[in-house]
Structure 1
Amino acid sequence: MKTVQLRKNKNSDWEYLSDKLELKEPLVLVFGNRFMLESETIFEEIKSIFNDGHIVFGSASGDISAHSVTDETITITAIEFEKSSFIIKTTNVLEANNDDSINSFNVGKELINQLPEEGLKHVFVVSEGSFINGSQLTKGMSAATDDNLTITGALCGDGARFEKTISSYNENPKSGEIVAIGLYGETLEVTFSINGGWTPFGPERAVTKSKDNILYELDNLPALDLYKKYLGEKAKELPGAALLYPLNVKSIDGENYTVRTILNIDEKENSMILAGDIFKDSNVQLMMTNVDNIVNAAEKAAINAVEARENKPELAILVSCIGRKLVLDQRVEEEVEEVMEVVGEDTTITGLYSYGEIAPFIGENNCQLHNQTMTITLISE
């Protein structure tokens, strides 16, 4: 595996972060600031650098490399697979439907079904993050594989604005696009791990009314009223403050816990709009964290991903949540540094801060939508 990394900000040309190498038909991952990715020339710019590259774009709430975590930049990571191969398929939820009738389950299932099954080892997904129901998307993707294939990835981000996300394959980034990268090869090794570092607090309450990703009632009381009560003075800062106090959702069978970010609130309905589905009869608690807990969780995720491997990783794709970035603030690079220490300095680091992380629970194959986690995918040939 050979890799090349470049970065540019609004006022500079492309700068190489690694040695300049000639790559043959590379997979080119482009993560960065949404406004910069909306440039009409962005695809042609990158195509001029990697003229036979397969270019995948995703807007980020911060792009990640071993050098730094930055907001007003675009980072390119180009990968030449020397023993393995990849196939890329796409779908667009806006071109096929209007945003009121998107069947996210079918979108996920049909996207993965486009990939040839023979030799398929892993799928990495770069999904738009504005219109899709991430919970249903991941369920559909898992259904396409009968839970027999690992899938990781990200819902694209847009800083803390939540206005618009864009992504694409071999064209200028656009809204509604979902890209699936299928990885193939006998010697290919892919491992992954997730960890959050958030701590539940306060009483556990039952979901008594919900629909898809909208939470209406807890213990038969308006959910938003209860949430504001717990936030106290911070309730004045909603919906932004909700990123710092997500919900811990216990599955109905009680076996797993999923963290759900609150994306918005509806004062009229006294409800909260979450980043993924929340089901009636599940139980929830508020969560909080601090910088040290988040950094330690990133380190644990890296350790778990490395311990599951036979060979040293060559590429690490990090997907962390915008909510974690807001907590880390000026210390945001610390969680990336912890991962780097574990995976080794020879491993190429790339990734993004997202609106949702896609990965199975550890020890499982069926992918899930997560929030407020560090998700690490390690790849080698």
Structure 2
Amino acid sequence: MKIVQAIKKGDEPFVFQNSNQLKEPLVLVFGNRYMLESEHIFNEVRALFPEGHIVFGTTSGEIIDDKVLEGTVVLTAIEFEKSKILVKRCNVKDYQNDDKKMGTKLAAQFPKEHLKHLFVISEGSSVNGSALIEGIEHLNNNGCGLSGGLCGDDDRFEKTLASYNESPKEGEIVAIGFYGDTLEISSANYGGWTTFGPERIITKSQGNILYELDGKPALDLYKTYLGEK
């Protein structure tokens, strides 16, 4: 496996940390939403990797090496020696807010034989991630791994963008299937949430949507603690 990485700041070109000639690589491009809205970003990456499978996703911070950045675009291109990839996409507007069905239909496009891992990059403004995962796992009966995430928009929460082999756009979900007997993929996550206030009992919810705490509307309770925030 060969990997090259590059970083783009503002209107500057990508600066590569290492160099390698890659054949039909998977090119992951994660970055600031304003920068990925540029009409030139796709053509810029395509010129660097004419044979690449290019996947975009907007972020709430970018990671390269051991650094966490903001307002940049980070590119990681990977050439596999023995393994293969298959990339599929869909858009939320085609499924009328049925995120579970969307996940099931997306997962069904991947042949199960030798499938080791699914990596999903989803639009993050309107998709219910729990329902999307439930739909994907509905057909995941061969024990393959699943990881990925919802796209971000820094602290704006206005809109998110993703795409496969085209300019980033709203509503896209991209799934990458990794195939190969010798392939090993692991994943991990870490959350930074902390508790505040007294413990309360959830008295009304549906799926992962919270409506009431201790018989009171959850939104009213949050406003009591957080005010305008």
TM value normalised by structure 2: 0.93
Equivalent residue, structure 2, for 1:228: 223
The residue identity in structure 2 corresponding to 1:14 is F
Equivalent residue, structure 2, for 1:217: 212
The residue identity in structure 1 corresponding to 2:5 is Q
Deviations, residues 304-354 of structure 1 (Å, cap 9, x unaligned): xxxxxxxxxxxxxxxxxxxxxxxxxxxxxxxxxxxxxxxxxxxxxxxxxxx
Q: Please give the residue correspondences for 1:97-136 in structure 2 after superposition, counting only pairs within 5 Å.
A: 97=95, 101-136=96-131
- Find the aligned partners of 2:9 and 2:23 in 1 and give their Cα distance: 26
Quote how far apart the aligned CAs of 1:212 are: 4.7
Alignment of 1:3 with 2:3, yes or no, is yes
Equivalent residue, structure 1, for 2:38: 39
Q: Please give the residue correspondences for 1:209-288 in structure 2 after superposition, counting only pairs within 5 Å.
A: 209-229=204-224, 231=225, 235-238=226-229
Larger displacement relative to structure 2 (217-226 or 126-135): 217-226
Q: Please give the residue correspondences for 1:1-381 in structure 2 after superposition, counting only pairs within 5 Å.
A: 1-17=1-17, 19-66=18-65, 68-94=67-93, 96-97=94-95, 101-146=96-141, 148-196=143-191, 198-229=193-224, 231=225, 235-238=226-229
- Find the aligned partners of 1:82 and 1:147 in 2 and give their Cα distance: 24
- Find the aligned partners of 1:197 and 1:72 in 2 and give their Cα distance: 21
- Find the aligned partners of 2:170 and 2:223 in 1 and give their Cα distance: 33
Secondary structure of the corresponding residue to residue 168 of structure 1: strand
- Find the aligned partners of 1:34 and 1:153 in 2 and give their Cα distance: 18
Secondary structure of the corresponding residue to residue 153 of structure 2: coil
Decide whether aligned partners of structure 1 residues 55 and 173 sit closer, same or farther in structure 2, where only a CA change above 3 A counts: same
RMSD of Structure 2 on Structure 1 (CA): 1.7
- Find the aligned partners of 1:41 and 1:199 in 2 and give their Cα distance: 40
Quote how far apart the aligned CAs of 1:199 are: 4.4
Kept in 2: contact 1:110–1:144 (CA 8 A)? no
- Find the aligned partners of 1:21 and 1:211 in 2 and give their Cα distance: 50
Which sections of structure 1, spanning at least 5 residues, go unmatched?
239-381
Kept in 2: contact 1:59–1:165 (CA 8 A)? yes
Quote how far apart the aligned CAs of 1:205 are: 2.0
Deviations, residues 8-43 of structure 1 (Å, cap 9, x unaligned): 1113121112x2110000000000011111111211
Which sections of structure 2, spanning at least 5 residues, go unmatched?
none
- Find the aligned partners of 1:108 and 1:147 in 2 and give their Cα distance: 16
- Find the aligned partners of 2:212 and 2:78 in 1 and give their Cα distance: 47
Equivalenced residues, count: 229
Quote how far apart the aligned CAs of 1:63 are: 1.1
Secondary structure of the corresponding residue to residue 5 of structure 2: strand
Deviations, residues 203-254 of structure 1 (Å, cap 9, x unaligned): 332222234554321111122232334x3xxx2341xxxxxxxxxxxxxxxx
Secondary structure of the corresponding residue to residue 203 of structure 1: coil
- Find the aligned partners of 1:35 and 1:189 in 2 and give their Cα distance: 34
Larger displacement relative to structure 2 (4-13 or 212-221): 212-221
The residue identity in structure 2 corresponding to 1:7 is I
The residue identity in structure 2 corresponding to 1:216 is Y
- Find the aligned partners of 2:209 and 2:65 in 1 and give their Cα distance: 37
Secondary structure of the corresponding residue to residue 104 of structure 2: helix
Equivalent residue, structure 2, for 1:359: none
Equivalent residue, structure 2, for 1:243: none
- Find the aligned partners of 1:194 and 1:236 in 2 and give their Cα distance: 30
- Find the aligned partners of 1:29 and 1:86 in 2 and give their Cα distance: 13
More helix by share: 1
Kept in 1: contact 2:112–2:142 (CA 8 A)? no
TM value normalised by structure 1: 0.57
- Find the aligned partners of 1:203 and 1:67 in 2 and give their Cα distance: 36
Larger displacement relative to structure 2 (107-116 or 66-75): 66-75
